[in-house]
Structure 1
């Protein structure tokens, strides 16, 4: 049945990741053996630890370039590896992710998305289809693709950045998996072509950014293009056996906006959930990290 109750979801505890503190428009996180300090525009409250404590604990701190909201550089405060690997084990999943410091403050994983990986794994296993077809759009480094593949899905992974596809392949190999289909293409172009070909998928996973560029310079703006994308995706989703997850991280989009969009394009669906994703730091402050909407036939 359609749910009208907005939900707050956070992942189960994960030994390889910890949100230590938040505040002052920053977050202090542990990924495996290394602690990082990064900008976080929604952490407008004061820090619980002192600035000196943050500096003492941090292996690396991200400093934005002047005039940029995203790009910058990492300042190393102590020696750390250029790349390192962390395991994720939960609900039948056994995955390994490569992490690295990027010039856009990202490290290769979005920890709040761990709430979706067991869901994907479970839905793929439960679908009454021999090998469910799953499409992951704006797939980044592929954690969701790995969760679907480990459950036995036939996975197509689409991202516009070739280097990110290479990173995803490393994660696949580190997790002992194979046979994911990699596609470097603009997401909207890809789904339109799939509809023309008459293809359908049992699972759709969407994690569109607020803005971006396709491999041929195609412009993506969430508020301009999301509705068109969802309209096409409604044609791609299998009519009988299906699940869908969409996540948005944009300060301008509330969970209610996403609910309205999804109901407009997909109608009333069974087992619907929607709301906010968050992570709690070590002082019980809850950091919102995007909105989600998901449903399934099972």
Structure 2
């Protein structure tokens, strides 16, 4: 059985975790530094509060009436939106970032190691699936947000279906596709569970499936998603869609209290013995060597 891994993404020029602590993180995205809440950063900051105030171009302040929403306090030089680039290995992507009322900016940098994994596996799969009427691997990205994984798959040469329940987020992902000089991603504003069931009834198969489900969510028609209630069912449906010979699978979870051991148990029951399994935590280290856990993952591949 493989041991639990701690994966720290390779450094990239347009992102830096400067400091973390006191339930906050101080990050640089391109030219701008942001301070925002981070519930996992339970230790003390390394820099002073004054240093954080001086460095940050934008600081997220929670609304006292809402545990999730808030507003950004910005300095005059802060631009919104703005753009960052990601260039590593064979990937060259560009993302639009923006300050949202939910503290997010449209990018999860800890996922960059998964982008590299996706790119590598699709390049290898392309050799195996090339046959008459199958020009390239096909990939399904569920809860796909602003499309980092979709862009990585498309740039590697896959046919990509990008599914998200929020129409403005799909529009954001399309902008990222354009900025990355890519095209022909299939966009679906759809509830993930409904979409996967329908694809199963149609007998469709995918060489790659990517899931990044939230703890809670709503579909476009008000469908309710609760991670611990619906994940097992969704994984079983996804297992029916995964190609039997040439495949990869990735799932990420960011929900306090969810362990990578939970994922290992689930995946063992749903998929049985899988080739080349990797599982553990995605971790980003700040400039003071404090390691911030930012989600659990499980992934495997036939190549």
1:149 alignment partner, SS class: helix
1:69 alignment partner, SS class: coil
TM-score, normalization: structure 2? 0.97
2:268 to 227, 245, 263: 263
Q: Cα deviations across residues 110-151 of structure 1 (Å, max 9, x unaligned)?
A: 000011011100100101113001000000000000000001
Aligned to 1:178: 183
1:150 matches 2:155: yes
- Rounded to whole Å, the distance in 2 between the matches of 1:18 and 1:91 is 19
Aligned to 1:126: 124
Q: Cα deviations across residues 211-254 of structure 1 (Å, max 9, x unaligned)?
A: 00000111000000000000000000000000000000001210
Give, in angstroms, the shift of residue 69 of structure 1: 2.6
Give, in angstroms, the shift of residue 175 of structure 1: 0.4
Aligned to 1:24: 22
- Rounded to whole Å, the distance in 2 between the matches of 1:141 and 1:247 is 15
1:239 alignment partner, SS class: coil
2:280 to 271, 275, 278: 275
For the 8 Å contact 1:112–1:278, the answer to whether it is kept is yes
TM-score, normalization: structure 1? 0.98
1:206 matches 2:234: no
Aligned to 2:257: 252
For the 8 Å contact 1:61–1:77, the answer to whether it is kept is no
Aligned to 2:107: 109
| Structure 1: gaps (5+ residues) | none
- Rounded to whole Å, the distance in 1 between the matches of 2:219 and 2:68 is 18
| Structure 2: gaps (5+ residues) | 131-135
Give, in angstroms, the shift of residue 82 of structure 1: 1.4
Give, in angstroms, the shift of residue 77 of structure 1: 2.9
2:129 alignment partner, SS class: coil
Aligned to 1:98: 96
For the 8 Å contact 1:60–1:78, the answer to whether it is kept is no
